[in-house]
Structure 1
Amino acid sequence: MTDIHALSVREIARQVAQRTLSAEAVTRAYIERIDALEAAVHAWQYFDAELALGQARRLDKAGSASGPLAGVPVGIKDVMDTVDMPSGYGSPIYATHRPVTDAAAVAAVRAASGIVMGKTVTTEFATFKPGPTVNPHSLSRGEPHTPGGSSSGSAAAVAAGMVPVAFGTQTAASIVRPASFCGIIGYKPTFGTLPTAGIKPLSPSLDTLGVLTRRVDDAAFFVGVLANREFLLEVAGGLRVGVCATPHWDAASPASRQALADAARSLEASGAMVADVVLPHACDNLADLQTAIMSYEASLAYVPEYQTRLNDLSEPFLAVLAAGAALGGERYAVLQQEAEQGRGVMAAVFDRFDVLLAPGAPGEAPAGLVSTGDPIFSRMWTLLGNPCVNVPVCTGPSGLPIGVTVVGPRWRDHVALSAAARLEKALGVQ
């Protein structure tokens, strides 16, 4: 009997398209996992088993399950619009909101014969106020730990085996950090690779759509289908790797520092050329630039909610809006020019290295659910628009996962993905 949960995204699609496995059988297998774990994990904002099964049955009955994502169950982060499910954006303001169309990426999943399983929990408007989701790696502990955010439910659902792939969005660290905390792959593509139409905006010049998966190839295949690209993963040959402590090294725990060293050593053992890289001083303030630009753009995007539903906005989100409103348009223009200069500086770094290795998060997932953790190690990469892939490397002193970020040059995602696949193979990650 086929162990459906062990199948890759690519293999699920192949078997369903060839009718050696039905879309309904795949969907039922994942529904069973959701039924078994959801009461403890709280990964789903909206889940209707019959709705998911209905999609699968229609594919099987019509004989139309031949798309490149045939029968693949997909979790949809609840900042993305879905025509047949509520889209609440993590806020009580939109608790009863029913979109009239799908987000572009959701429509693309359906067109490729994928199964929209449900809506995964997001923090409020993909910012800082957490939802109820628990890190699956902490279920046996006395106190729950955060799965990270803002793609909390997506990361937890994939880590718990509830879906093989789920969408995440990243404006600061919302794909990479939860992937690190949950011990899975998190792929933030080059900015602009996937469409953000139909996604509740936070900061349009930063918002990036990506995925959380169990394997690098799953992420590369899934995003490749939606982006009309084929990311060929090369896991052998020469690779120039720069080990980048980033300007925020003081924030890295001993375990996170060890994870970076372990990853570098594994790549070097695989034949890669590894060297430390010190970023130019022009990179020192990139995280601050990201914070300011995000806040300013959010203050513009959320004028309607601020004017009409002020009491339904959390204090952390109001603080973001206030900081942005205080900047003003002239300062914002200067910040964007500085960000462009940073991209030029970083492009020169990638003349010397194929990829960079950097910390994915300060350490293990913090205990409790009042915070989703510090986004400091991803802010600069999101500002720059570089592709990033989190690869789980080890566990920390509490036994929770820690990952590292593989950063590639803009629009050369296949390089970052190939290096991540090589690291995955060197570490023996399955």
Structure 2
Amino acid sequence: MLSLLDLLRRMDAGTLPPDGALALCREAIAAREPEVEALVHLDETARPGAAGGPLAGIPLGVKDIIDVAGLPTRMGSPLYEGNLPRADAAIVAMARRAGAIPLAKTTTTPFAYLDPTRTRNPAVPDCTPGGSSSGSAAAVAAGMLPLALGTQTGGSVIRPAAYCGVAAIKPSARLLPTVGVKCFSWTLDTVGLFAASVQDVAHALAALARRPELALPEGDPLTNHAGIRLGILHQDFAGDPEPEAAAALDEAARAAERAGARLVALESPPLLADAWRLHGIIQNFEAAQALAWEWDAHRDALPPELRGLLDEAQSVDAALYDDARRIVHHAREAARGIFAEVDAILTFAAPGPAPRGYASTGSSRFNRLWTLLGDPCVAVPGLESADGRPVGVQTISRFGRDEKALAAGAFVAAAIAARR
């Protein structure tokens, strides 16, 4: 994989020219893209900008529900063939201001739902890369891009990161703008980032959000974050994990404890289980409105998973939706108590390793609650199942404390690496 921090250091030192990262990405894309199929469009005219910035010279992948001026946005659907936005989405404009170079549009499941893409998982080619941000996770895992944008409505950033063995962050809700991003659920949709390491995603988030305090300090995370308090939460309300995920969480927790973390066993308040069950009501009620034109005008052209969801969503009652929102509001208040004695939660990033085959993008059941609550989540790579498939864990902090989720993620990643 390409580390954006390493690329920046090399460009700053003059050992890599200003367009060197772009050249490396083009070379890797030429070599890997035919087998991975993570991209839907490559901008052959992309060049480094004249201005500097914290991401100067860093090529960027953009999920194909996010507008880039002059590049097609197809939403993963033939309905949007020929759709050429005239303006950047706000997040892309922010990336340009920081010096990043939008180089490629990455594959998305149609309208960021469940119907799979053609993209292959670079870590385990016979397994799904996950979704809906399939191409962004796969492009980073294949070393074709050092940074990519995705979105999460259920688990569409953290899950593909876990399946492909890369780092990612789903920030606190509304930290990054969704203007110019195709809406699925305005309450839930969150722009997220993929990169090679937790330090990389922290630097990128700090640059995009213009919050330098989110960047992690240089040096050993085990020293920088010594004594960090990690709460172990199994999310029983979401069902049982697969054995590989249970083993990975246990291994990550033991590695973190050996490295000096303080572990606290956590129980979730019952209200969180109630909120978890309401994710679908909020998502579906809003999706029926956000995708009203597609369903009204082109229902028969929609892929089966999405068509079925929208058919069912037409009957979601507004009063039920309003009740769900009230319960979720109270759940957000209850969730604050979980973080009273810990800096971050350590829990499953996905039910298990990537499923074999491409019929499914996997389940978001261990991600939905945190998307609903708006809490920051960091996918931590470095663990594998016995058969070599990546198995991620995630660190989560309370809303607005993204720096704590990132610090915990960097600590756990370093502890996992140090165990060997």
The TM tier, using the shorter chain, reads over 0.9
Deviation at 1:19, TM superposition (A): 4.9
SS in 1 for 2:192: strand
Question: Measured at CA, do residues 249 and 105 of structure 1 come closer, stay the same or move farther in structure 2, by a change above 3 Å?
Answer: closer
1:17–1:70: 8 Å Cα contact kept in structure 2?
no
Distance 1:294 1:203 in 2: 5
| 1:412-423 paired onto structure 2 within 5 Å | 412-423=401-412
Decide which moves more: 275-284 or 38-47: 275-284
SS in 1 for 2:345: strand
SS in 2 for 1:357: strand
Amino acid of the residue matched to residue 32 of structure 2? Answer: L
Match of 2:130 in 1: 148
Match of 2:110 in 1: 124
1:163 aligns with 2:145: yes
1:92 aligns with 2:63: no
Distance 2:239 2:96 in 1: 45
Amino acid of the residue matched to residue 99 of structure 1? Answer: P
SS in 1 for 2:168: strand
1:199 aligns with 2:184: no
Which of residues 324, 328, 339 in structure 1 aligns to 2:328? 339
Which of residues 364, 385, 399 in structure 2 aligns to 1:396? 385
Which of residues 272, 281, 302 in structure 1 aligns to 2:291? 302
Distance 2:309 2:274 in 1: 19
Match of 2:415 in 1: 426
Which of residues 23, 28, 32 in structure 1 aligns to 2:27? 32
| 1:17-416 paired onto structure 2 within 5 Å | 19-48=14-43, 50-52=44-46, 55-56=47-48, 59=49, 64-139=50-125, 144-230=126-212, 231-233=214-216, 235=221, 236-248=225-237, 250-416=239-405
SS in 1 for 2:19: helix
Question: Measured at CA, do residues 47 and 109 of structure 1 come closer, stay the same or move farther in structure 2, by a change above 3 Å?
Answer: same
1:259–1:393: 8 Å Cα contact kept in structure 2?
no
Distance 2:41 2:237 in 1: 37
2:141–2:164: 8 Å Cα contact kept in structure 1?
yes
Identity of aligned residues (%): 37
Amino acid of the residue matched to residue 216 of structure 2? Answer: L
Deviation at 1:111, TM superposition (A): 1.9
Alignment gaps of 5+ in structure 2 = none
Distance 2:410 2:8 in 1: 20
Question: Measured at CA, do residues 118 and 159 of structure 1 come closer, stay the same or move farther in structure 2, by a change above 3 Å?
Answer: same
Deviation at 1:39, TM superposition (A): 0.9
SS in 2 for 1:238: coil
SS in 1 for 2:391: strand
Residues 397-427 of structure 1: per-residue CA shift (max 9 Å, x gap): 3310001110111101000100111111111
Question: Measured at CA, do residues 339 and 393 of structure 1 come closer, stay the same or move farther in structure 2, by a change above 3 Å?
Answer: same
Distance 1:276 1:288 in 2: 23
Decide which moves more: 166-175 or 390-399: 390-399
Distance 1:132 1:11 in 2: 31
Deviation at 1:65, TM superposition (A): 4.3
Alignment gaps of 5+ in structure 1 = none
2:152–2:192: 8 Å Cα contact kept in structure 1?
yes
Amino acid of the residue matched to residue 375 of structure 1? Answer: S
Deviation at 1:232, TM superposition (A): 4.3
SS in 2 for 1:90: coil
Amino acid of the residue matched to residue 194 of structure 2? Answer: L
SS in 1 for 2:277: helix
Distance 2:119 2:64 in 1: 13
Decide which moves more: 122-131 or 223-232: 223-232
Tell me the matched-pair count.
Answer: 412
Distance 1:351 1:45 in 2: 44
Distance 1:324 1:344 in 2: 28
Deviation at 1:17, TM superposition (A): 5.4
Amino acid of the residue matched to residue 315 of structure 2? Answer: A
2:203–2:215: 8 Å Cα contact kept in structure 1?
no
2:133–2:156: 8 Å Cα contact kept in structure 1?
yes
Distance 2:21 2:343 in 1: 38
Residues 308-343 of structure 1: per-residue CA shift (max 9 Å, x gap): 112221221122223322122111111001111111
Distance 1:168 1:251 in 2: 27
Distance 1:397 1:45 in 2: 33
Distance 1:232 1:80 in 2: 24
2:238–2:365: 8 Å Cα contact kept in structure 1?
no
Deviation at 1:392, TM superposition (A): 1.7
SS in 2 for 1:395: coil
Amino acid of the residue matched to residue 169 of structure 1? Answer: T
Amino acid of the residue matched to residue 80 of structure 2? Answer: Y
